[in-house]
Structure 1
Amino acid sequence: MRVITIATDLEHPFLRRLLEPSCAAAGLRLVVLEGTQKGFRPRDKRALLTEYLDRHVAPDELVMFTDAYDTLLLRGADHILDTYAGFPQRVVFSAESNCWPLGNVGLALHDSPPVRPYPYLNSGGFIGPAGDIVALSAKYPKPPSEHFPLLGRLRAHGVDPDRLHATSDQYHWMLVQLLEPDTVGLDHGAVLFENFAPAVANFCELSRWTSDFRANGRQAASYRRERTRLESRLQSPSGAAQVHFASALAKTVVLDLLDEGQLPSWLAGVLPR
Structure 2
Amino acid sequence: MKVITIATDLEHPFLRRLLVPSCDAVGLNLVVLEANKKGFRPRDKRAFLTDYLTRCAAPDELVMFTDAYDTLFLRGEEYILKAHAGFSQSVIFSAEPNSWPLGTIGLALQKDLPARPYPYLNSGGFIGPAGDILALCAKYPSPPSEQFPLLKQLRTHDFDTDRMYGPSDQYYWTLVHLLESDTVGLDNSAILFENFTPTVANFCELSRWTSDFRAHGKQAASYRREYARLQARLQSPSGAAQVHFASSLTKTVVLDLLDEGRLPSWLVGVLQR
TM-score range with shorter-chain normalisation?
over 0.9
For each residue in 1:191-231, what CA deviation from the matched residue of structure 2 results, as whole angstroms up to 9, or x when unmatched? 00000000100112111101100000111000000010000
CA distance 1:37–1:19, shift in 2 (3 Å): closer
Partner in structure 2 of residue 173 of structure 1: 173
The question of whether the paired residues in 1 share the 8 Å contact of 2:9 and 2:37 is answered with: no
Residue 272 of structure 1: CA displacement? 3.4
Q: Does 1:153 align with 2:139?
A: no
Count of equivalent residues: 273
Residue 41 (structure 1) shift? 0.5
Corresponding position: 1:105 with 2:75 = no
Aligned to 2:115: 115
User: Structure 2 CA distance, aligned partners of 1:5 and 1:204?
Assistant: 27
**Rounded Cα–Cα distance in structure 2 between residues aligned with 1:86 and 1:99:** 25
| Structure 2 counterpart SS, 1:199 | coil
- Mapped to 2, the partners of 1:208 and 1:66 lie a distance apart of 26
Aligned partner letter, 1:58:
A
In 1, the alpha carbon distance for the partners of 2:66 and 2:204 equals 26
Structure 2 equivalent of residue 35 of structure 1: 35
What's the offset of the Cα at 1:246?
A: 0.1
Q: How far does the alpha carbon of each residue in 1:98-124 deviate from its partner, in whole angstroms, 9 at most, with x for none? A: 010000000000011101000000000
**How far is the alpha carbon of 1:36 from its aligned partner?**
1.6
Corresponding residue of 1:228: 228
CA distance in 2, matches of 1:111, 1:261: 44
Q: What secondary structure sits across from 2:237 in the alignment? A: coil
Q: Distance in 1 between matches of 2:74 and 2:238?
A: 9
Provide structure 1 residue ranges, at least 5 long, that are not aligned to the other structure.
Answer: none
**Counterpart-to-counterpart distance in 2, 1:130 and 1:181:** 18
Find out whether 1:135 has 2:132 as its counterpart: no
Indicate the RMSD between aligned Cα atoms, in angstroms: 0.8
Matched residue of 1:158: which SS? coil
Hey, what's the Cα distance between the residues in 2 that align with 1:111 and 1:128?
23
Q: Distance in 2 between matches of 1:268 and 1:118?
A: 24
C-alpha displacement at 1:37, in angstroms? 6.0
Deviations 1:142-182 (CA, angstroms, capped at 9, x unpaired): 00000000001110000100000121000000000000000
The residue type paired with residue 173 of structure 1 is W
Runs ≥4 residues deviating over 6 A: none
**Secondary structure of 2:272's partner?**
coil
Structure 2 alignment gaps of length 5 or more: none
What is the match of residue 199 of structure 2? 199
For residues 81 and 225 of structure 1, the distance between their equivalents in structure 2, rounded to whole angstroms, comes to: 37
Q: Secondary structure at the match of 1:270?
A: helix
Aligned 1:88-99 pairs, distance under 5 A: 88-99=88-99
User: 2:177 & 2:85 partners in 1: Cα distance?
Assistant: 19
Q: Secondary structure at the match of 1:271?
A: helix
Equivalent position SS for 1:68: coil
